[in-house]
Copies of this chain bind each other. A is one copy, B any other.
Amino acid sequence: MGMWFEDFIVGEMFETVARTVTEADVVTFSGLSGDMHPLHTDAEYAKATPFGQRVVHGALVLSLAVGLRGRTGRFDDTLIAFLEIRSWQFRRPVFIGDTVHARNEVVEARASSKPGRGVVVQRVEVVNQEGEVVQSGDMVTLVRQRP
């Protein structure tokens, strides 16, 4: 099921399944990351901001995007390493109860100088249940060539 370097064709897209971001996710991420900014953990404070309610941590949504991509199983045997995140923009707030998925487009695929591996750049957009792009940027991974 894994995708080898040769399987990544520039211009091809895939979409992941979706996931609802729950209050429990936000609470767990606050504790795990240590980011307890009142915007995420204090409902009274959040009510008084322009958002009007608690906002999901940007880095949690980014982490969900990584996880949703991984859940496809495509990288289970073929990924060597996650190299870089480029120009990752937090474009719209995500709220508790929103459902997000990731849209992935191969924008670059080049063989590495080391044999047997290649660098794949994917343009990733995280999309909510309204079809709005909430985050986007490029994820760069190092992938095995087909043996």
Contacts and interface: CB of A to CB of B under 8 A. Distances in A.
Contacts of A107: none
| Copies of the chain in the assembly | 6
Interface stretch (A3-11, A41-49, A118-126): A41-49
A81 interface: yes
A94 to B, nearest CB: 12
Interface string A121-142: 0000000010000000100000
Interface residues of A, number: 60
A106 B97 CA distance: 35
A129 B45 CA distance: 10
B70 A34 contact: yes
Contact of A36 (B19, B58, B63, B137): B19
A28 interface: yes
Given A18-B42, A36-B70, 4 more contacts: A19-B41, A37-B76, A62-B85, A85-B137
